[in-house]
């Protein structure tokens, strides 16, 4: 808050006596207008002698015109002189102030210890420097940076006190703003959920936040900041200097960092950035320059990565088991087809030989034998196929919001609907919940929506309309498309297994609507093609609302 300053030359003003200093100084100034050389040693002399080759009044003019507020007091701090700047800074008429104590400027908020320190220095004939709160004549406060010093005569007797002060309020406001800003930035950095460290050009840590410091103390394999720098810029220090010079942008990197007491290394994502700081030293005042820092932000992504790996692992597992199931089915069906070929060939051969020979007894017996073998083989095969049909665990019955489920299924087809430029209109207002098996209903609606998309083909009007209503204790749900529709003769056949009008890759075997039929039956409902709909195809489902339990 305050300090003693080492030395102030108190000789140059000479030893004016008493409290009439301003008038005698004026008199001195008026008497000696011609500069004359000093006889005495340089820098010392009596009041009447010129100093440094300058007339004495020059010293008075200098003090009088100084832009610093200067006052001279008697040993009891009563003001005997104040310059023009003093008047400007304090607002007091300096001539009216003569004889008043310097304490006229004092503000109650300056702690008394400051004054005690000031006086203790002065009484030991030592100068003092410090900051205190002063009040102007209009009672407004300002922060004064004050230097006081004793003024002694030629015999080193204390005669006066010199006071010099300037208003440093603005500077203080700026300094305080910088300090506040720094405190804010520090607390923001400390509370950020990431590690932050700034490295100077010598690779030394210049600034860091609390999370980084905590991490650095748990890292036992060297300097953590250096590990970060090497990860982002490479191990070569020349390269670091080169990147630094060019302020090259750096790719984010992810590295593994082992910490003491932790079994697995932590995964940290690093981002690096350059920051130029202006040089605040005096010799850089008129030239550009300063330090370039390398800022590193590190985010601990260990749990995020673990989660991502878990999700990816699950998805892969599902994919593999799905593939395995498909492969298994493929094998069974291939084997079945192979085994069906044999009796078919036998039948074929027998049929041809019967045709060649006419209807004699032997060819009839051969044919009979072939049919018998084919039937036996077919039955055996059917039995095996029956055993190979995969069993799907029955999902539990639950209350289902049908409109939510339909939207969820539609979301799966969004990309396809957009690519095919198909408009979907869903009208499912305030439906009651349906007690059903969620997984099965998902498959059902997916099947119907996929069918509708496929049916659209090159139709000009491209729309799918989904609607539902409650009618006589049933939920009547319909999905209509603007495709070519299904001929009336096929309205029942399309629900048969393996019936397909277009053997498309998606399902291959025309099992889609058969599956829909099974699911609807499982829910005690009915499904049919609406015979009254002529603009395309409309599939209607009727599902009873009373609980299937």
* Residue ranges that bind ligand FAD, judged by CB under 6 A: 71, 73, 76-77, 101-103, 105-106, 110, 112, 115-116, 118-119, 123, 132, 134, 144, 146, 148, 161, 163, 165
Q: Looking at the chain, how many residues does it have? A: 549
User: Strands, E, within 24-167: which ranges?
Assistant: 69-73, 79-82, 128-135, 141-152, 158-167
Encode burial over 403-438: b for 16+ CB neighbours within 10 A, e otherwise.
Answer: bebbeebbeebeeebeeeebebeeebeebeebbbbe
* Minimum distance of ligand FAD from residue 147's CB (angstroms): 9
Under DSSP, the state recorded for 490 is G
Two tokens, residue 522: 């499982």
**Of 165 and 437, CB closest to ligand FAD:** 165
Two tokens, residue 6: 């080492």
Residue 462, Cβ neighbours under 10 Å: how many?
18
**Of 148 and 232, CB closest to ligand FAD:** 148
Query: Crossing angle for the helix pair 302-357 and 361-388, nearest 10 degrees?
Result: 170
* Minimum distance of ligand FAD from residue 77's CB (angstroms): 4
**Of 131 and 491, CB closest to ligand FAD:** 131
Q: What is the Cα 274 distance to its own chain's centre?
A: 19
* Minimum distance of ligand FAD from residue 246's CB (angstroms): 54
Instruction: Tell which phi-psi region holds residue 510, choosing left (phi > 0), alpha (psi between -120 and 50) or beta.
Output: left
**Of 16 and 134, CB closest to ligand FAD:** 134
* Minimum distance of ligand FAD from residue 165's CB (angstroms): 5
**Of 102 and 517, CB closest to ligand FAD:** 102
Q: What is the Cα 320 distance to its own chain's centre?
A: 36
* Minimum distance of ligand FAD from residue 127's CB (angstroms): 10
Kind of pairing between the strands at 158-167 and 141-152: antiparallel
* Minimum distance of ligand FAD from residue 117's CB (angstroms): 9
* Minimum distance of ligand FAD from residue 177's CB (angstroms): 25
* Minimum distance of ligand FAD from residue 72's CB (angstroms): 7
**Of 49 and 167, CB closest to ligand FAD:** 167
Give backbone dihedrals phi and psi of 63, rounded to 5 degrees, phi first: -65, -45
**Of 130 and 512, CB closest to ligand FAD:** 130
Among candidate residues 448, 450, 440, the one with its CA nearest the CA of residue 506 = 450
* Minimum distance of ligand FAD from residue 106's CB (angstroms): 3
* Minimum distance of ligand FAD from residue 38's CB (angstroms): 28
* Minimum distance of ligand FAD from residue 116's CB (angstroms): 5
**Count of H helices and E strands in the chain?**
15, 18
* Angle, vertex CA 458, rays to CA 453 and CA 459, nearest 5: 80
**Of 142 and 196, CB closest to ligand FAD:** 142
**Of 145 and 401, CB closest to ligand FAD:** 145
3-state secondary structure string across 129-195: EEEEEEECCCCCEEEEEEEEEEEECCCCCEEEEEEEEEECHHHHHHHHHHHHHHHHHHHHHHHCCCE
**Of 123 and 423, CB closest to ligand FAD:** 123
Question: Could you identify the residue written with the tokens 């900041």?
Answer: 225
Q: How far is CA 276 from CA 181, 251, 262, 521, in A?
A: 18, 19, 37, 74
* Minimum distance of ligand FAD from residue 195's CB (angstroms): 49
Give the Cα separation of 170 and 176 in Å (integer): 10
Cβ burial of 339 (10 Å; 0-12, 13-18, 19+) is middle
Among candidate residues 269, 266, 203, the one with its CA nearest the CA of residue 230 = 203
**Of 142 and 195, CB closest to ligand FAD:** 142
**Of 47 and 114, CB closest to ligand FAD:** 114
* CA dihedral angle for residue 216, residue 219, residue 223, residue 226, rounded to 10 degrees: -90
Sign of the dihedral through C-alpha 233, 236, 237, 238: negative
* Minimum distance of ligand FAD from residue 95's CB (angstroms): 18
Sign of the dihedral through C-alpha 334, 339, 343, 345: positive
**Of 109 and 288, CB closest to ligand FAD:** 109
């Amino acid at each position: 808050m305050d300090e003693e300053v080492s030395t102030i030359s108190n000789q140059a003003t000479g030893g004016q006596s008493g409290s009439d200093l301003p008038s005698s100084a004026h008199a001195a100034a008026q008497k000696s207008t011609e500069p004359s050389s000093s006889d005495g040693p340089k820098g010392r002399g009596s009041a009447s002698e010129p100093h440094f080759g300058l007339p004495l009044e020059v010293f008075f003019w200098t003090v009088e015109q100084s832009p610093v507020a200067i006052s001279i007091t008697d040993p009891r701090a009563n003001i005997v002189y104040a310059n023009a700047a003093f008047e400007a800074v304090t607002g007091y008429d300096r001539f009216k102030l003569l004889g008043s104590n310097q304490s006229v400027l004092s503000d109650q908020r300056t702690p008394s210890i400051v004054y005690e320190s000031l006086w203790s220095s002065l009484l030991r004939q030592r100068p003092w420097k410090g900051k205190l709160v002063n009040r102007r004549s209009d009672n407004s406060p300002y922060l004064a940076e004050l230097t006081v010093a004793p003024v002694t005569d030629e015999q080193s007797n204390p005669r006066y006190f010199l006071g010099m002060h300037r208003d440093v309020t603005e500077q203080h406001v700026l300094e305080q703003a910088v300090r506040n800003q720094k405190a804010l930035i520090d607390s923001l950095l400390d509370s950020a959920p990431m590690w932050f460290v700034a490295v100077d050009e010598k690779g030394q840590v210049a600034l860091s936040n609390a999370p980084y410091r905590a991490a650095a103390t748990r890292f036992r394999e060297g300097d953590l900041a250096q590990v970060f720098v090497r990860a982002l810029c490479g191990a070569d220090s020349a390269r670091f200097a080169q990147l630094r010079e060019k302020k090259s942008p750096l790719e984010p990197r992810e590295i593994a960092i082992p910490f003491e007491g932790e079994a697995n290394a932590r995964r940290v994502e690093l981002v690096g950035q350059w920051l130029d700081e202006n040089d605040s030293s005096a010799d850089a005042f008129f030239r550009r320059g300063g330090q370039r820092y390398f800022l590193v932000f590190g985010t601990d992504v260990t749990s995020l990565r673990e989660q991502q790996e878990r999700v990816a692992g699950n998805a892969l597992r599902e994919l593999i088991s799905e593939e395995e199931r498909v492969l298994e089915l493929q094998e069974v069906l291939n084997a079945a087809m192979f085994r069906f070929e044999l009796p078919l060939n036998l039948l074929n051969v027998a049929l041809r030989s019967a045709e060649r020979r006419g209807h004699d007894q032997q060819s009839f017996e051969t044919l009979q034998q072939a049919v018998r073998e084919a039937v036996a083989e077919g039955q055996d095969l059917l039995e095996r196929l029956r055993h190979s049909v995969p069993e799907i665990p029955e999902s539990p019955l639950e209350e289902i919001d049908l409109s939510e489920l339909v939207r969820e299924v539609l979301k799966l087809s969004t990309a396809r609907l957009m690519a095919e430029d198909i408009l979907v209109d869903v009208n499912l207002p305030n439906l009651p919940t349906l007690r059903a098996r969620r997984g099965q209903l998902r498959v059902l609606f997916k099947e119907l929506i996929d069918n509708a998309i496929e049916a659209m083909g090159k139709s000009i009007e491209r729309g799918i309309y989904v609607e539902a209503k409650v009618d006589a204790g049933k939920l009547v749900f319909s999905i209509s498309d603007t495709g070519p529709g299904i001929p009336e003769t096929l309205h029942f056949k399309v629900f048969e297994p393996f019936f397909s009008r277009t053997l498309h890759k998606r399902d291959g075997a025309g099992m889609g609507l058969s599956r829909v039929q099974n699911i609807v039956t499982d829910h005690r409902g009915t499904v049919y093609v609406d015979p009254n709909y002529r603009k395309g195809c409309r599939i209607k489902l009727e599902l009873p609302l009373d609980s299937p339990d």
